[in-house]
Amino acid sequence: MGYPENPILVLVDVTPAGDAAPSTSALLGAASTIGSPIALVPGGAQSAVDAAAAAGAAVVLTAAVDDTQLIVPLVDALHTAYARVQPDAVLVSNSIVGRDVAGRLAVRTRGALSVDAIGVSRDDQGVVAHHSVYGGAYLVDSAPTYGAPIVTVRQGAVEARGEAVASPAVEELEVVGSGAAAATAGPVEAIEQESSRPELRGAARVVSGGRGLGSKEQFALVEQLADALGAAVGASRAAVDAGYIPYAHQVGQTGVSVSPQLYVALGISGAIQHRAGMQTAKTIVAINKDGEAPIFDIADFGIVGDVFTVVPQVIQALEARGK
């Protein structure tokens, strides 16, 4: 099969059930800004193929893999696609699995690896990845001097979206297992959590709470505002350490990095390690009773006040407006 010009190979992150993860549209959107997106859908589930086409992939490659969460079969499939397509760049989600796959592919292809990009562009020499580093204090670019870069893209960071393709060309890849050594995982137990809130990673809106909430019971205020805004719930490390909320909600250097459209920080001082995980949010709103708190240095809108006085009024106003 002939592939379109300037092919950008995208590894679609798939869930254990085989569906395309929410990162798909931003990955293919990013690819469409620098070339022609070609999606690789491990497992080849029709729902994931459809999602890739809806997100702008004119060509969708599928590969049979027994377990879409095992690293080596994914690398084998991506390596096969890479050899076939000869892309200008490979884009992979900066998820736990994605980072592992991208690193291994870079070793196999002797390609350059750019991690945690918040965007990509193209200049006359090729594809350039953009990164937010040192806790969001600097924006830097990375570009290889030879070969196609393999780029992991931060979830939620890219706004571009590709145009839906009505009838994509679908091609099944024949993948020969490399038999490469892999770490073996022990038994994994899936824990299902029922939540009507969006997942923190990749959420468009995030409301986070810090030590200023004072207790686990009072942290419910963060959840109430999140629900009023249809937002995911985040937290500072101090709030997690104090047991207000589980670690999975920690935002920052040693937690989750988020790039939502809206980030609301309640009772969070804005330590550099917290900022590292949220500074690339498009709009930051901070509510803190200390007018000197460093969070105000990066906030687009700030309210100096007690969260227990201000937030109920905000919720009331939102409810009155019907969001």
Q: How far is CA 210 from CA 74, 114, 220, 251, in A?
A: 38, 32, 12, 10
Q: Considering the complex, state which of residue 11 and residue 256 has its C-beta at the smaller distance from ligand FAD.
A: 256
Minimum distance from residue 258 beta carbon to ligand FAD (Å): 11
Measured N-to-C along each axis, helices 24-34 and 46-54 cross at an angle, to the nearest 10 degrees, of 40
306 binds ligand FAD (CB under 6 A): yes
CB atoms within 10 A of CB 297: 11
Contact between 252 and ligand FAD per CB under 6 A: yes
Q: 183-204 burial by CB neighbour count: b if 16+ within 10 A, else e?
A: eeeeeeeeeeeeeeebebbbbb
Q: What is the nearest approach in angstroms of ligand FAD to the Cβ of residue 309?
A: 8
Applying CB under 6 A, which part among 40-48, 113-121, 131-139, 210-218 lies near ligand FAD? Answer: 210-218
Closest CB to ligand FAD among residues 68, 269: 269
Minimum CB distance to ligand FAD, residue 265 (Å) = 8
Name the H helices within the chain: 24-34, 46-54, 71-85, 96-109, 220-229, 237-241, 272-275, 295-298, 307-321
Cβ 295 to ligand FAD shortest distance, Å: 7
**Looking at 28, 58, 281, 307, which residue binds ligand FAD (CB under 6 A)?**
307
CB-neighbour burial class of residue 13 (10 A; exposed 0-12, middle 13-18, buried 19+):
buried
**Binding to ligand FAD by residue 279, rule CB under 6 A?**
no
Stretch that binds ligand FAD, among 12-20, 76-84, 86-94, 235-243 (CB under 6 A): 235-243
Query: Is residue 253 within the footprint of ligand FAD (CB under 6 A)?
Result: yes
Q: How far apart are CA 154 and CA 227, in angstroms?
A: 25
User: Binder to ligand FAD among 288, 298, 303, 314 (CB under 6 A)?
Assistant: 288
Chain residues in the site for ligand FAD (CB under 6 A): 210-212, 236-239, 250-255, 267-269, 271, 273-274, 277, 287-290, 293, 306-308
